[in-house]
Amino acid sequence: MRSVLLALASLVLCVVTPMAQAGTVPTLDHPILFVAQVPIPYDFATIGSTFANHRAGMQQVGRGGDLYIRDPDGTLRNLTREAGYGVASEFQGAGAIAVRDPSMHWDGQRAVFSMVVGAPTEQYQVIDVYWQLYEITGLGPSDTPVITKVPNQPSDVHNISPVYSPDGRIVFTSDRPRGGPRSALPHLYPQLDEYESTPTVTGLWALDPATGDLDLLDHAPSGDFTPIVDSFGRIVFTRWDHLQRDQQGDSPSNPYEAFDWLDESADAPTAGPMELFPEPRIDPPPGVNSHRFNHFFPWMVDPDGRELETLNHIGRHELHAYFNRAFDDDPNLVEFIASVSGRVNPNEVFNVFQLKEDPTAPGTYVGVDAPEFQTHASGMVVRLALPPGAAVDQMIAEHVTHPDTAGTVADGDPVPATHSGHYRDPLPLADGRLLAAHTPEARPLANEGTTTAPISRYLFRLRLLEPAGAHQAAGADLTAGITRRVQYWSPDQLITYDGPLWELSPVEVRSRPTPPVPTRPLPAPEAQVLAEESVAPDDLRTFLREHELALVVSRDVTTRDALDRQQPFNLRVPGGTQTTGAGGVVYDVSSMQFVQADQVRGLGGADSPRAGRRPLARWMHDADGYNPAPAPAPGAVAIAADGSMAAMVPARRALSWQLLDPVGEPVVRERYWLTFQPGEIRVCASCHGLNSVDQAGQGVPQNQPEALRTLLRHWRATQQGLLFADDFESGDLGAWSP
């Protein structure tokens, strides 16, 4: 066996590699572009992890992988080697590479991917190298591949998971600081996540390679992952949502030496750790349940960063099996238990990773439900049918592989016959078949070698899925396997890997229509208010863009989706509208208070802090002076008698909010961070958007929001010189006259 593997290794190092035996691998309609990667047996913040997988250090990602293409007849070509990248020798030094995340252009003639170049050439050498974006052309069997670095991208940060956008830009995730270049904000690099304060990407970015124009589409405090562009022009991606108080900073003993900077500046004063939002994670006040929130869900956003929300407004009510109620002293509020909730979907899905759209069923997405740790982000293949306009409360999440594949089997326990291993990177093909990276391993990951000669328990190979009873399971191998012996410095130790490489991230090499760029006309009720107030939408949008603001509007915050019985749903504006879904206590709500994610939490003590900062919820302050005064509470705006709310809010910064009662106590809290774009006018008709009907059985509110009218009148007054918000804040009114 050893001689066979060595012989195969020598073949794989050649540029063109025929398959071992004709007829032993399936034929396909189109070539498959994929990544070969040196296995890393560890799963916290490494290349195969569910989160913090973006770094290029020698302990996070090995060197010696390449970009391959598998032709329909089974022939393999090493594209990076053909194009002059990578090292053919065993030792991986200055020219060594690792490759990830290929994505095809609509024309089928080119692809964009991420690559890191460089490794230490001697022991203990630490080098600064970054994942960068590259484009490859020449994918045909007789072509010479050419790889060029994408121009004008940030060069001193990690840029990964690129996709072509229908507006001509490249969308990708990056750990570039939210507010500007790393060189200008070194103290904010890296952004630390909301879980273990581990470095994370800051969100979803869009680059115009020709001009260098760079926009942040979504500021994600814990990270965005693996975007795609679907056939409708929506950017669909996975986001880690972990909006809860800092588990490394909310303990009275403070073992991590958490502290806060008072603002995001490099020389800001420091203070002890302070948490404002949401509910406490431990020791909540009487009647309030502790709040824990942690999952990876599918999201969508337009190519310009507008209309960000979970895919078709999907949430825990549609996918999860259980979560707790907010208050335990109101009998109307109940724990969410899927089996008795009355929802349509009978199948639990906890996390959603690595989504791809089915080319045979536009709006249907295949992904993976995997645990957060122990499987290199592999698990059960799932299918979600969510085309635009489809109501998620009528969706049934399909378990493509058996539900057992979503979890692991403990070492020593018998493996059920239904557990066919773990899957990741599923790819629906144009011929209707399904391809995925698969390992037959059912146990948790482990290093079955040594530190210097690691052997990953998980070996991912690309395989077609085949029927297996009511589900599907791995079938034919796509390749005969790719085996290499490589060595590289870790940098302290010389790592030797000798064995099969992981086969990951497959994409089908074919052309497809360029998706449309979505257009979003201003909804009729809001357009009518603007017309009645003589405000031209373009003028308002121009003002918002110039001041890095967005305008958010809700028509009636007292209405909530019928399935949400975990937060108060009998809501009333004092002296105004109310919406109730049951008898019992009715909660008065008089204002909406916004919080913004400021990068101000540090660890390790103020005298010698760790690098980077974690975002924390702070009362919204970047929009001070733009909303009608007086503010009911810090960062808050009043709710009008018709239940409407309107506020100018900071753009390109994660925001959340809560409804307050007349004495300032929180009643209903948002559970996600949301980002808005400069100039965006975002309308959310209800506080918790409706899938079909609200708690009273009513449809989407259609009232003309009076809070918007009040805000527009305030804005017109400032534009006419009556207030001039910027001068008003500074106290310098200049030569103003009415």
What element of type H or E holds 725? helix 725-730
Arithmetic mean of pLDDT, 677-687: 95
Arithmetic mean of pLDDT, 477-486: 97
CB 695 within 8 A of CB 581: yes
CB 407 within 8 A of CB 420: no
Q: Is the dihedral of CA 358, 363, 368, 369 positive or negative?
A: negative
Q: pLDDT grade, residue 23 (50/70/90)?
A: very low
pTM: 0.94
Residue positions counted in the chain? 738
Instruction: Give the end-to-end CA distance of the chain in Å, rounded to a whole number.
Output: 90
CA dist list (Å): 610 to 65, 191, 491: 32, 11, 21
CA dist list (Å): 69 to 18, 98, 482: 12, 16, 12
Q: How far apart are CA 395 and CA 385, in angstroms?
A: 7
pLDDT tens digits along 496-551: 999 999 999 999 999 999 999 999 999 999 999 999 999 999 999 999 999 999 99
Arithmetic mean of pLDDT, 702-715: 98
Statement: residue 20 has pLDDT above 70: no
Q: How far apart are CA 149 and CA 112, in angstroms?
A: 9
Statement: residue 449 has pLDDT above 70: yes
Q: Is the dihedral of CA 648, 650, 654, 657 positive or negative?
A: negative
Q: How far apart are CA 204 and CA 178, in angstroms?
A: 10
CA dist list (Å): 221 to 76, 190, 199, 654: 40, 11, 10, 7
Q: Which residues lie below 8 Å from residue 735, measured CB to CB, with a gap of 6+?
A: none
Residue 411 burial (10 A CB sphere; 0-12, 13-18, 19+): exposed
pLDDT at 689: 85
Q: How far apart are CA 20 and CA 265, in angstroms?
A: 60
Pair type for strands 549-560 and 681-688 = parallel
Q: Is the dihedral of CA 293, 298, 304, 308 positive or negative?
A: negative
pLDDT at 22: 39
pLDDT at 721: 66
pLDDT tens digits along 343-375: 999 999 999 999 999 999 999 999 999 999 999
For the chain, give me the number of helices (H) and strands (E)?
A: 8, 42
Structure tokens at 647: 């506020």
- What per-residue string of b and e applies to 716-734 under the rule 16 or more CB within 10 Å gives b? eebeeeebbbeebeeeeee
Arithmetic mean of pLDDT, 235-250: 97
Q: pLDDT grade, residue 688 (50/70/90)?
A: confident
Q: Which residues lie below 8 Å from residue 687, measured CB to CB, with a gap of 6+?
A: 554, 556, 557, 558, 559, 560, 659, 668
Pair type for strands 461-468 and 434-439 = antiparallel
Arithmetic mean of pLDDT, 293-299: 98
Q: What is the largest CA-CA distance in the chain?
A: 91
Structure tokens at 367: 């992904």
The full DSSP string for 333-383 is ---EEHHHH--S--S-----EEEEE-TTSTTEEEEEE--SSSSTT-BEEEE
The full DSSP string for 134-160 is EEEE--STTS--EEEEPTTS-SSS-EE
CB 156 within 8 A of CB 293: no
pLDDT tens digits along 44-74: 999 999 999 999 999 999 999 999 999 999 9
pLDDT at 719: 84
Structure tokens at 563: 């399935």
Q: Between 24 and 426, where is the model more confident?
A: 426
pLDDT tens digits along 97-115: 999 999 999 999 999 999 9
Please report, as a single letter, which amino acid is at residue 703. Answer: N
Q: How far apart are CA 604 and CA 259, in angstroms?
A: 8
Q: pLDDT grade, residue 3 (50/70/90)?
A: very low
pLDDT tens digits along 595-641: 999 999 999 999 999 999 999 999 999 999 999 999 999 999 999 99
Q: Give the distance from CA 362 to its chain's centroid.
A: 21
Tell me if residue 278 falls in helix, strand or coil: coil
What element of type H or E holds 461? strand 461-468
Supply the mean pLDDT for the chain: 94
What element of type H or E holds 602? strand 591-602
Q: Can you list the pairs that 525-529 forms with residues at least 24 positions away whose Cβ atoms lie under 8 Å? A: 525/555, 525/702, 525/703, 525/704, 525/705, 526/553, 526/681, 526/683, 526/704, 526/705, 526/708, 528/704, 529/704, 529/705, 529/708, 529/709, 529/712
